[in-house]
Amino acid sequence: MSSDVVFNRVHPIGDTDTNALPVKAIGPAIGYYTQVLGFAVVKKDQNSAILKRDDVQIGLAVNGRDPEQASCYFAVSDLEALRRELDAKGIEPGDIDVQEHEGKKYRVFFAKEPYGVCFCFGQPATPK
């Protein structure tokens, strides 16, 4: 993926383990994360994988947990550009909204991968 969007950080939402995001099958999940989200495979075996993009490293795991119950937040450098990229790939990201977390405002949008995990992408809201 030729993208200028930088992934800066990942944070779990709830009790999600970003080092073991639950997937039902490792192969299709790796395909999605590499082809759609631009991650590269660092390491993989039959039931797990470590992926990296820019400053973010995540893990995928066939671990019996429900992907529908997993969520994480990715801090990115250019929210609008990422939303356009995902929209062009047929992901149907949500609308950009301003939300507050720990007293700070962030511009965010949500998108769900086809296997169940929900992502929140965001960056700090700049005051006008």
Q: For 20-70, what is each residue's pLDDT tens digit?
A: 999 999 999 999 999 999 999 999 999 999 999 999 999 999 999 999 999
Categorize the per-residue pLDDT at 2 as very low, low, confident or very high, splitting at 50, 70 and 90: low
Helix (H, G, I), strand (E, B) or coil at 34: helix
- What is the 8-class DSSP label of residue 35? H
User: In this structure, is the dihedral angle defined by the CA atoms of residues 68, 105, 108 and 18, taken in order, positive or negative?
Assistant: negative
Residue numbers of the domain that contains 74: 7-124
Report the predicted TM-score, pTM, of the whole model to 2 decimal places.
0.92
Tell whether 32 is covered by a domain: yes
CA distances from 10 to 28, 76, 113, 125, 128 (A): 21, 9, 16, 18, 26
Q: For 67-114, what is each residue's pLDDT tens digit?
A: 999 999 999 999 999 999 999 988 889 999 999 988 999 999 999 888
Tell whether 33 is covered by a domain: yes
- The DSSP line for 58-90 is EEEE--S--GGG-EEEEEES-HHHHHHHHHHTT
We report the CATH number of the domain holding residue 86 as 3.10.180.10
Tell whether 102 is covered by a domain: yes
Which are the contacts of 102, defined by CB distance < 8 A and separation ≥ 6? none
